[in-house]
Amino acid sequence: MTEEKVQKLRLTPSQTVGPYLSLGLLREDWSELVSPDHPQAIRIEGTLYDGAGDPVTDGLVEIWQAAPSGRYDHPTDDREELPLEEGFHGFGRSGTVEEGRFSFVTLKPGPVPGPEGTTQAPHIMVAVFARGLLKQLITRIYFEDEAEANAGDPVLRSIADERMRNTLIARKEGGNRYRFDIRLQGEGQTAFFKLSE
């Protein structure tokens, strides 16, 4: 079949994970992307809140990120000159069953290429699933202690509203710990993204 004859198929619609997502999606703990004993390990902790300010206890947070070198462990990223951390795949999953809390042990990602020759500041892609979400919400975690890189980041720069921009910054809580709360709705709502076509 030639490329011209490829017929575009219509996408399958999204539906909510419902309240019982833990049956299928939390059978294994994937919240530690590296051992907590890893010398560069960081811990990211947060709570998922709804529009009434109540913790969401039937949600799921997934993350995807580059290695400390800035390379993704994926065949599309063929920059072989950048090392991948042994055993580090960049994907994590944490349920919010315990009082809406999620947490990850991971490595801080490096900067990665952005559109039109720009460089993106170290960041983690985040997908949020829950009962009441008919499709996942997408956000990003940036790091408070990367002020200079954040100032040049093309995505952060595109957000004019400083309050919204600040919802994407994980706050350093001492040592190697960061806090990143997610608010689905209402005062202090987290900035969520729509992926461009």
Size of the site for other proteins (CB under 8 A): 77
Q: Is 61 in the site for other proteins (CB under 8 A)?
A: no
Instruction: Specify the residue, 148 or 160, whose C-beta has the smaller distance to other proteins.
Output: 160
Which of 13, 39, 174, 175 touches other proteins (CB under 8 A)? 13
Euclidean distance between CA atoms 81 and 67, whole angstroms: 13
Per CB under 8 A, the list member of 4, 27, 80, 148 interacting with other proteins is 27
Only segment of 37-45, 76-84, 100-108, 142-150 that touches other proteins (CB under 8 A)? 76-84
Segment lying near other proteins (by CB under 8 A), choices 39-47, 60-68, 99-107, 172-180:
60-68
Phi, psi torsion values for 50, nearest 5 degrees? -95, -175
Q: How far apart are CA 121 and CA 23, in angstroms?
A: 36
The SS3 of residue 32 is: strand
- Which of 37, 76, 162, 174 is close enough to bind other proteins by CB under 8 A? 76
Q: Does 134 bind other proteins (CB under 8 A)?
A: yes
Distance CA 178, CA 30 (A): 18
Window 84-113: contact mask with other proteins (x via CB under 8 A):
-----xxx--------------------xx
